[in-house]
Amino acid sequence: MSNVTVAFVSSALAGLATMFGALIVFVSKSDNKKFLSSALGFSAGVMIFISFMEMMPMAQENFMKTMGDKQAQWMVLASFFGSMAVFGIISHLVPEADEPHEIKTEEEMEERSHELALEKVGLKSAIAIGIHNFPEGMVTFMTSLMDPAMGLSIAVAIAMHNIPEGIGVAAPIYFATGDKKRALWLTFLSGVSEPVGALLAYLLLRPFLTPTLFGVVFGAISGIMVLISFDELLPASRAYGETHLSLLGLIFGMMVMGASLIIL
């Protein structure tokens, strides 16, 4: 299987993990807080560890193929914080009340239904999650293209935090209409933006791959993943009230990622 195929499959599976979140809604009257809390913490641990211990060094290594050591270090910092700024602006454009990673419990949704129709909440959540998943698809694809093993690790981490996103779309639609097909369809559309992002990355960036672009991509991806971890995954993980499981998941995610880098 070629790296391109692996990259597309990884991006698609990560994005469509939202569908698993929808299935949780259908089989359970409330979300599994312990599972979600530990899974989101684990996802953050994987992303943080791989960003600082693997991707930033690889970014500098690629930059140093075409420039001096000091300039390479500055380029890594520029890519890292520049991507944070761009991704932060994108996140800021998403209405705060419907931030896709701030998933509501069933009880919170019932309270909110007095102010807004649940179906409308689900539609807005689907749009918001689609916006967030698009660049994540590019991240997964580009990383998998350059290093399939690392790309798979990132895809798993992204898939874990896409599960509660799926809950955020499916739950309000399902509770409002009782229509499983509609809830599944909207959840699918919100997740499919991830492989669409991968496709655009393939069409737009692949013809221009150079050591410098590799450096920018690795630096930018690490910045985006650190921002997602601290701004979205960890707060969402602790929002379920399982703070100790969130921390344990974070540490375990780092341990697993570190061990996998040694083994692979």
- Residues of each annotated binding site for Zn(2+): 136, 161, 165
> For 114, what's the count of Cα atoms within 13 Å in the CB-facing half-sphere?
4
Contacts of 252 (CB under 8 A, 6+ apart): 41, 42, 45
**Cα–Cα separations (whole angstroms), residue 213 to 60, 124, 142, 241:** 11, 35, 11, 41
- Binding site, annotated residues: 133, 136, 161-162, 165, 194
Nearest to 40 by CA among 132, 165, 148: 165
Total length of the chain? 264
Segment (H or E) for 111: helix 106-112
Rg (CA), the chain: 18
How far, in Å, CA of 162 to CA of 230, rounded?
Answer: 16
Q: Provide the token pair at 218.
A: 């690795």
- Binding site, annotated residues for Fe(2+): 133, 136, 162, 165, 194
